Amino acid sequence: MNPFAGQFAGPERADAGKNTRRLLVVEDENHIAVGLRFNLEAEGYIVTLAEDGESALRSCERAREPFDLIVLDVMLPGISGFEVAETLRAAGNYVPVLMLTARGRPEDVVNGFAAGADDYLAKPFELAVLLARIQALLRRTFWARQAEKPGKASPLNGLPVCFELGEKVILFDDLKILDGEREVPLTLMESNLLKYLIEHEGRAVSRKSLLEDVWGLHEDTDTRAIDNFIVRLRRYLETDPQNPKHLLTVRGVGYRFESGAGE
């Protein structure tokens, strides 16, 4: 199946000076992989191909320079795209991951986010949409890196922060939580979910609302993936994750965030 709803870009679209970002494309169907590389290189990206999950992980381990983004298909021979994302995150590799799902199945999208993907795109897709999603993820990473440079705005030099929770500082756009000298990285979806709950502080938010408003899923979907995200966020934020004070369960509904500011 050709994932592109539009036509391949012609070589006249290439602009060698436009991008120097390194992309890893993980796709087992050769004609799709070649088409992706052709179009991405036409946009000036440096593209490496991997035909399965094992090859993708080896490429990440052996790369002289880290990849700036991974385009990762879900259905791969051997280990799946979900397992690739989980392995990278477990190893502390937070490279942005754009996951390609078959026909946008809700279960693929949910599992992809739970595994650590930052965004998803359903096959078939428009080339322009793929490029826009890639550029958006790369921009977010660039902004986060700029904020980390000496002299840039940060909570450590007295400038405003995104959200303070006790001694922890949540930086939504930088995708991390500062806890004293410890820095906890967040995936894009973890950051978005946490931000949504904080914006609705004191109110019970249903799992269905989280799926629709945070992830854009409007079909009947297993909502248990939300529970897995909450478990992870509790580990990041709670002193005792088994007895949370901030990310509270509302039985039969969903979750409620409480900062405890009024205590």
**Each residue's pLDDT tens digit, 218-233:** 656 666 778 888 998 9
**Which tokens sit at 91?**
């190893």
Residue 246 pLDDT exceeds 70: yes
- Domain 154-257, CATH: 1.10.10.10
Ramachandran class of 45: left when φ > 0, alpha when ψ lies in -120 to 50, beta otherwise: beta
Task: Give pLDDT, residue 148.
Answer: 46
Superfamily of domain 11-144 in CATH is Response regulator (3.40.50.2300)
Q: Give pLDDT tens digits for 12-59.
A: 343 433 458 999 999 999 999 999 999 999 999 999 999 999 999 999
Residue 216 banded pLDDT, cuts 50, 70, 90? confident
HEC profile of the chain: CCCECCCCCCHHHCCCCCCCCEEEEECCCHHHHHHHHHHHHHCCCEEEEECCHHHHHHHHHHCCCCCCEEEEECCCCCCCHHHHHHHHHHCCCCCCEEEEEECCCHHHHHHHHHHCCCEEEEECECHHHHHHHHHHHHHHHHHHHHHHCCCCCCHHHCCCCCEEECCEEEECCCCEEEECCEEEECCHHHHHHHHHHHHCCCCCEEHHHHHHHHHCCCCCCCCHHHHHHHHHHHHHHCCCCCCCCCEEEECCCEEEECCCCCC
Same fold, 11-144 and 154-257: no
Residue 74: what pLDDT? 92
Domain ranges of the chain: 11-144, 154-257
Q: What is the pLDDT of residues 110-157, one digit of tens each?
A: 788 888 888 888 888 899 999 999 998 888 765 555 444 444 444 433
Q: Average pLDDT in the 178-206 region?
A: 89
Average predicted confidence (pLDDT) for the chain? 82
CA distance 176 to 201: 20
User: Mind listing the pLDDT tens digit for each residue in 53-103?
Assistant: 999 999 999 988 899 999 999 999 999 999 999 999 888 888 999 999 876
pLDDT of residue 106: 75
Q: Residue 263 pLDDT > 70, yes or no? A: no
- For 159-181, the pLDDT digits (tens) are 334 788 888 999 887 788 998 88
